[in-house]
Structure 1
């Protein structure tokens, strides 16, 4: 699958339903894409926890070529932005030049948003001094469709995500058990057939 594509440079997963569980799966494999330049996971319901897990994975320093990160409309809150800002400020993402965050759940005046803007502007001035301020390959996108963050909503969302993860894990366990049971039944049938063909002498 994609996790084995070590030469992957551009991946657009926009408009899929990730939730925190999908965010964990993405975080588990992103280190394999050591030459990726653009990652698009916009409108994927990544969630606040998913964004934090992604940021933690990026801290491993395996994605030093990543230039563009598209994270619009993912219900990312202030905690997620803080985690992303912190990793962007380290040497783990030295090539990062564009982050798209519109449609999430934080304030445009959040200090981490301002810090991220400043960082990307400084990188543009240093690496592409002739680039215009409106150049859409640099900086942060226009944040004109942000939602207000709500602690109550976040708690409800976390509960829903926990319940969904538990449901999916139970289904996986059940499917695995059924497969094992089926394999046992097949083995018994094969043994019975073999014994039926055996003659005692």
Structure 2
């Protein structure tokens, strides 16, 4: 069984020591096969009520729990139909408490209204040409993602490695491109050297209009 452990951390200003207090574990009271049982949790988010939403990669489902970890409901299943997934890559909750789910193997983003039990899906034609592991909700039914194509250091193609913004329902990106690999390119660090060495990306929505983007490179440094 896989569980999620929640802790409360506080940083002491004078000595910079970190104090961690255990709060609770999500899924510890569930038996194998029960609704909400976690096989392989890969992502977590929260809604405006503090409910905890966990993506389960192996179960191809998303589970919702109360703020103290009690199971509420599930959505999703394995498959290729509406609300079904091959690989749940990333989840996020938008400003209206809709759950957004990225499945990069099926090139789609699903939008769940978990209260109403409804789902909409959006297929993006350019996703087969890129690797995207990130999803950050923005206002007005938009989301941001980090686009990683086949570009190499020194490439002049600014669309290959960039931050893109999409609108739910639109097939193409609607923003200009913002290169995010300047450090890697300027220092001529080949992408191939990073494979299997904690290369990865993180994207966080700040207020629905701005995002914070980061990526790891060789030796695990964040820029």
Which TM-score bucket, shorter chain as reference? under 0.3
Q: TM-score normalised to the size of structure 1?
A: 0.24
Larger Rg: 1
Q: TM-score normalised to the size of structure 2?
A: 0.22
Judging by fraction of residues, say which structure has more strand.
Answer: 2
Higher relative contact order (CA 8 A, sep 6+): 1
